[in-house]
Amino acid sequence: MQPSLPRLLLTLLGLLSLVSASDITATLQAWPLSAASPTPVGSVVYNPVTLTTSTTSLKPLSLKDDELIRIGSGDSDNGSWTVTTAGSLVNGKLVLQLDAEGRVYQVEVEQGRAAPEGVVGTEVELSRVVKGATPTLNKPVVLNAQGRVPEVEKEKTFLQKYWWLLLGMFILVVGGGGGDQAS
């Protein structure tokens, strides 16, 4: 299918808007299961195109390490919240799930791979939605005007192509007169 012009333009526009997309600041909120409402704990500034974070600032939480807290970036009623322990928030890796437009729709904590002891300060990962698998189709067979499968012409090797040149050079070299010794 040929992409139509409006579609192409749209895609271009989309790309432009993405490229021009400046850094986005996501406010992080922590909401202990025991508390009535969430409290902001800091923010992450990231670029949704390059998937890099520029600044991360987190306030330390005055909670016990094993206390369960909800974390998220939206409001208490309409936002996504995931549950983790207060300790993991400090030691673990913060994952921001981004939607197609690069906005954060869910925040979660992942235990870093063999997180070194005593490292305080959260590592941030930006995770964009992945394209799902699609069937890997076979290549279509293109027929020629006669309705046959065209025979692929074999590429001639260098020798096959230029043997006459080499032969000419050989003859020239062999048959070329030597120095005029007689004189």
Give the three-state DSSP class for 101: coil
Distance CA 57, CA 75 (A): 19
Q: Residue 152 Cβ, how far from other proteins at the closest point, in Å?
A: 17
In angstroms, give the least distance from the CB of 25 to other proteins: 18
Calpha distance 117→138 (Å, rounded):
50
For residue 27, list its beta bridge partners: 43
In one-letter notation, the amino acid at residue 81 is W
* Residue 160 to residue 157: CA distance in whole angstroms: 5
Query: Which residues contribute to the site for other proteins (CB under 8 A)?
Result: 1, 3, 33, 68, 70, 72, 74, 78-85, 87-88, 92-93, 95, 97, 99-101, 103, 105-106, 108-114, 127, 129-138
Give the nearer residue to other proteins in terms of CB position, either 1 or 182: 1
CB nearer to other proteins: pick between 3 and 150: 3
The nearer residue to other proteins, 43 or 127, going by C-beta atoms, is: 127
DSSP SS3 for 124: strand
Q: How far is the CB of 121 from other proteins (least distance, A)?
A: 16
Shortest distance (Å) from residue 170 CB to other proteins: 44
Choice between 37 and 136, CB closer to other proteins: 136
Are 93 and 111 in contact, with CB atoms under 8 Å apart? yes
